[in-house]
Amino acid sequence: MNTFTIDGAWRTYVCLFLTCGLIMLPSMAAATGDVFDQFYRYIEVKNRVFEPHLPGETVDHFTGNLKIVQEDLSFPGHAGLDLKIIRTYSSKIWGRTDLLDMEPLLADKESTSVGFGWSMHMGRVRNPYASGQTSSLGGGFYPVYEAPDGTARVFYPAGTTDEFISRDFWKYSRNCNTATGPGVCIRTTSGIKLEFATTSGYFIGTTFIMQLTAMVDAYGNRISVMYQNTGLKLLYQITDSYGRTVTFNYQPCANGNCLESIVAAGVSGTSRKVTYSYTTYTGAQTSGGGRQGLPAPGRAFLTGVLPATGPGYSYTYGYADPVKKNQYALKSIGYPFGGSTTYLYDERTFYTGCENVPMAVVRSRSTAGRDLPPATWTYDYDSSSNSEFQMTTVTRPDTLPNSTTLATDVYTFYSFGYPAKRLQTGNTWIVGLQYSVTRGSGAETEIREWDRGSTVTQANYSAPSYGSQCANWAYDNTIQSPVLKKRTLKRRDSGEESRYEITFANHDRYGQAQTITETGEAESKRRI
């Protein structure tokens, strides 16, 4: 029996030595209402199409979630191993907006040092010692790597008790000796090794989290990360192969410690400083009328970031909005040179494979600024068990040629209705992949055709269960690595249509096409 101390409390892991190797079995129960969900929460990047609006700003057309990624510090490194300090926001504040969960406030599952809804870390693994064993709902408990930019990779058992693999062939070892002690490691397809030492670990409820302690490239260049030795193991200091040091300073705030500043120092003695400001909103200020109060003593919300040089950013939040309109979510961003973006949210229902779940989504985003005409984009979502596809319609602020009608873009995705229509396992791999997008009210249409690709490993890939037990068709018993077979682009102009196709064939086991064929023309033929 191996025992170690985390968070000042004794946590015991029982090591069972079997013929298949060493298996570590921590407590795997998640906090109440916290659903393992690689479709709407832990957004996997494999073949997902994201179209950013402003730099670092994305509205996911499949989920309706807003993601903001802002770099507070960035330094070039040896051989491309850059040191970046990233701050990420997700509008996924509530799990489901009908409040059926006992703990529906998803953003409050974890205390954060950079304000409610924001996160800042160098990378971390949730459930690092998960067994991958099947649950009663057809899913499984798997390690999940969360990147600093908010994307995620789920790792599935790869034949041994200690080796796991992602859908895009990142390799995960949960029996790894890091530079600072035992832990887990991830090897990316670009050759970068990510190390997570046990000493960086802490608990969110009963869920164990391990944080990045080192990033090492193929040439031995290294970024090392150190943490405070108490509580949630907050970031303390980062060093790299250039000898640069980044130090994190904190101040007491509503429910813990908030990041006050980051100071980066170079070997020459020069330094840069980024500072952060917050406001506290208490539980008593918001309740009733479809609103939910915050737990005492309230929470800190990030209101300003001042970079090393020049003006800074400002942020506001929907404290008084009802839950159905995503209470506490980010309402606006003020940019350093006078621009601003405002967000409005509403409730829409998504068919998740097990049941219909109401979630808060972005309904509109509006931009304004000096010498910039106001502009608004609106979003509507259609997700039903009666259709194989899920559609998002974006109404743009520009009009069609020679018309006052606003232009629209329609995004079509394979939905959980696709496997539901077939009533058999083996079709969940395609859910979430983009089938088509029609831009400019039909002026241009792009269609993507997919193949299941190679089998990565034997494991369950399942629909997320928010309460009901999934039907037996709502999961695959193999992990597939989908590949793009064909991309077709059609354009219409003055009654003429052009067609351009790219066909991808002879994929290797890593999804790389060995044969690419282009046909047609991208520009339409005009009548003269």
Identify the pLDDT of residue 468. Answer: 84
Backbone dihedral angles phi then psi of residue 284, each to the nearest 5 degrees? -70, -15
For residue 391, give the H/E element and its range. Answer: strand 389-399
Spell out the residues 6+ positions from residue 259 whose beta carbon is closer than 8 angstroms to its own. Answer: 113, 114, 120, 248, 249, 250, 276
With the CA atoms of 62, 64, 70 and 74 taken in that order, what torsion angle do they form, in degrees rounded to the nearest 10? -10
What's the CA gap between 33 and 103, in Å, rounded? 6
Spell out the residues 6+ positions from residue 254 whose beta carbon is closer than 8 angstroms to its own. Answer: 280, 282, 297, 298, 299, 300
Are 213 and 125 contacting, i.e. CB atoms less than 8 angstroms apart? no
Identify the pLDDT of residue 267. Answer: 80
Question: pTM for this structure?
Answer: 0.89
Residue closest to 115 by CA, chosen among 151, 68, 74: 68
What's the CA gap between 29 and 135, in Å, rounded? 11
Q: Tokens for 111? A: 């205390």
Q: What single string gives the DSSP state of each residue in 152-194? A: EEE-EE-SSSSEEE-TT--EEEEEEEETTEEEEEEE-TTS-EE
Are 332 and 316 contacting, i.e. CB atoms less than 8 angstroms apart? yes
Q: Tokens for 386? A: 């009666």
What's the CA gap between 274 and 305, in Å, rounded? 7
Residue closest to 472 by CA, chosen among 429, 431, 426: 426
Residue with tokens 């069609």: 400
What's the CA gap between 35 and 102, in Å, rounded? 12
Sort strands 245-253 and 235-240 into parallel, antiparallel or unpaired: antiparallel
Residue closest to 63 by CA, chosen among 94, 34, 101: 94
What's the CA gap between 198 and 180, in Å, rounded? 9
Identify the pLDDT of residue 46. Answer: 87
Strand ranges for 76-228 from DSSP E: 83-90, 118-119, 124-126, 144-146, 152-154, 156-157, 163-165, 171-178, 181-187, 193-197, 202-204, 207-211, 214-216, 222-227
Buried b (16+ CB within 10 A) or exposed e, 106-124: bbbbebbbbbbbbbbbbbb
Are 26 and 129 contacting, i.e. CB atoms less than 8 angstroms apart? yes
Sign of torsion over alpha carbons 374, 434, 99, 254: negative
Residues paired with residue 414 on neighbouring β-strands, in sequence order: 389
Identify the pLDDT of residue 121. Answer: 97
Are 527 and 496 contacting, i.e. CB atoms less than 8 angstroms apart? yes
What's the CA gap between 12 and 480, in Å, rounded? 35
Task: Return left, alpha or beta for 53; rule: phi > 0 is left, psi -120 to 50 is alpha, else beta.
Answer: alpha
Helix residue spans in 298-382 (DSSP H): none
Are 435 and 414 contacting, i.e. CB atoms less than 8 angstroms apart? yes
Identify the pLDDT of residue 1. Answer: 31
- Provide the residue-wise pLDDT of the chain in tens; the chain has 528 residues: 333 333 333 233 323 222 223 223 233 333 446 788 999 998 888 888 888 888 899 999 999 999 999 999 999 988 889 999 999 999 999 999 998 876 789 999 888 999 999 999 999 999 999 877 654 444 458 999 999 999 999 999 997 889 999 999 999 999 899 999 999 999 999 999 999 999 999 998 888 999 999 999 999 999 999 999 887 899 999 999 888 999 999 999 988 899 999 999 988 778 999 999 999 998 766 667 789 989 888 999 999 999 999 999 999 999 999 999 999 999 999 999 999 999 999 999 999 999 999 999 999 999 999 888 999 999 999 999 889 999 999 999 999 888 899 999 999 999 999 999 999 999 999 999 999 999 999 999 999 999 999 999 999 999 998 888 888 899 999 999 999 999 999 998 767 788 999 999 999 988 899 999 999 975 544 433
With the CA atoms of 344, 345, 346 and 349 taken in that order, what torsion angle do they form, in degrees rounded to the nearest 10? 140
Are 157 and 166 contacting, i.e. CB atoms less than 8 angstroms apart? no
